[in-house]
């Protein structure tokens, strides 16, 4: 029997249901970025440091071993295309790859010409947003495997990025240089159709590590190095709420399908689950490994949260039926 859909009413009952992958302890391991396919069947992991592996699992298999293990030095992140036939990955150095889900064979590869800090795939799977560390941000045409357009560059350091559900807006977290005063965290937005900048929202933190649009598209969450998560009304570009995330920093964000919950991967070996209507913390887990930071990601069907563990395994959390 599948686990229940995770809701604000039952999230306190979250428990780890499965561990995927083999336990591997390497001093160079720094965490994982994770993603599901649209059917919540395929789970992909890009390992930061450690063995630097791109892996994916078919969650209908009972075995914890991945379907594919692909060494990828410098790998940053990976996404599954909507047809679940291809995985796209990118390295820090800006090499974009496409892989066959069936056997892991390389389908194509090209250099982006960017030092990459974050990527996000549109819900339709036709656009890939790529944020470069030096303020460049680009849209990639997935079907035609070519750059579509560069958005207006930002004179700042960019980090995690996101496309709105209807792919009309792009957002990125940033750290604006302030000379001897260090950096000022900000949220940057662009119009996807024209590439023009839409606005800048400064927040009381040195960095904004991550951004995520709520499924409705009306709300944008931004995770900061101070641990606070700011909620922004997309129409007015005004901060309308603040959630208390992990004190070590809100490194990655993921909404559940209803937008009522937010999974926050900390800048240490931990994650929390927050209500979005007031920020109450419903669940928290830590493996007490402050050398790694991993994403905590809701599955599209709302039944699982995947999180990268300090053992380089992936834990699947859910509420038992």
Grouping H, G, I as helix, E, B as strand and the rest as coil, residue 55 is strand
Longest dimension (CA), the chain: 57
Contact 38, 301 (CB under 8 A): no
**Domains of the chain: which residue ranges?**
11-318
Contact 237, 220 (CB under 8 A): no
Grouping H, G, I as helix, E, B as strand and the rest as coil, residue 11 is helix
> What are the pLDDT digits (tens) for 25-83?
899 999 999 999 999 999 999 999 999 999 999 999 999 999 999 999 999 999 999 99
Stated as kind and residue range, the H or E segment containing 213 is strand 208-213
> What are the pLDDT digits (tens) for 117-172?
999 999 999 999 999 999 999 999 999 999 999 999 998 999 999 999 999 999 99
- Left, alpha or beta for 179 (phi > 0: left; psi -120 to 50: alpha)? left
Q: How confident is the model at residue 273 (pLDDT cuts 50, 70, 90)?
A: very high
Looking up tokens 């509420």, which residue turns up? 319
Q: How confident is the model at residue 267 (pLDDT cuts 50, 70, 90)?
A: very high
Whole-model pTM: value is: 0.96
The secondary structure of residue 93, as a DSSP letter, is T
Nearest-angstrom CA–CA distance, 222 and 187 = 7
Grouping H, G, I as helix, E, B as strand and the rest as coil, residue 12 is helix
CATH code of domain 11-318: 2.130.10.10
Nearest-angstrom CA–CA distance, 227 and 251 = 8
The secondary structure of residue 179, as a DSSP letter, is G
Give the per-residue pLDDT at 308: 97
Query: Which of 312, 238, 229, 233 has its CA nearest to residue 273?
Result: 229
The secondary structure of residue 225, as a DSSP letter, is T
Query: Which of 244, 316, 301 has its CA nearest to residue 276?
Result: 244
């Amino acid at each position: 029997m599948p686990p229940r859909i995770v809701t604000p009413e039952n999230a306190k009952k979250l428990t780890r249901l499965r561990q995927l992958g083999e336990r591997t302890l390497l001093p160079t391991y720094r965490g994982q970025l994770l993603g599901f396919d649209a059917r919540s069947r395929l789970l992909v992991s890009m390992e930061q440091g450690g063995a630097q592996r791109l892996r994916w699992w078919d969650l209908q298999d009972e075995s914890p071993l991945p379907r594919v293990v692909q060494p990828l030095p410098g790998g940053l992140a990976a996404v599954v295309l909507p047809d679940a036939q291809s995985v796209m990955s990118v390295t820090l150095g800006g090499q974009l790859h496409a892989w066959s889900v069936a056997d892991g064979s390389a389908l194509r590869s090209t250099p982006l010409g960017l030092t990459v800090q974050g990527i996000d795939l549109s819900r339709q799977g036709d656009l890939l947003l790529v944020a470069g560390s030096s303020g460049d941000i680009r849209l990639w045409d997935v079907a035609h495997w070519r750059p579509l357009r560069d958005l207006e560059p930002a004179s700042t350091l960019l980090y995690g990025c996101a496309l709105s559900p209807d792919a009309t807006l792009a957002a990125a977290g940033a750290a604006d240089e302030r000379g001897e005063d260090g950096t000022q965290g900000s949220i940057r937005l662009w119009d996807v159709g024209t590439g023009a900048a839409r606005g800048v929202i400064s927040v009381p933190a040195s960095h904004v590590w991550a951004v995520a649009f709520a499924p409705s598209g009306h709300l944008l969450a931004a995770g900061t190095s101070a641990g606070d998560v700011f909620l922004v009304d997309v129409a007015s570009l005004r901060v309308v709420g603040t959630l208390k995330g992990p004190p070590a920093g809100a490194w990655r964000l993921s909404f559940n399908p209803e937008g009522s919950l937010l999974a926050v991967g900390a800048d240490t070996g931990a994650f929390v689950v927050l209500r979005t209507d007031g920020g109450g913390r419903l669940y928290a887990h830590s493996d007490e490994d402050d050398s790694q930071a991993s994403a905590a990601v809701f599955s599209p069907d709302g039944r699982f949260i995947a999180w990268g563990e300090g053992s380089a395994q992936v834990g699947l959390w859910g509420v038992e039926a």
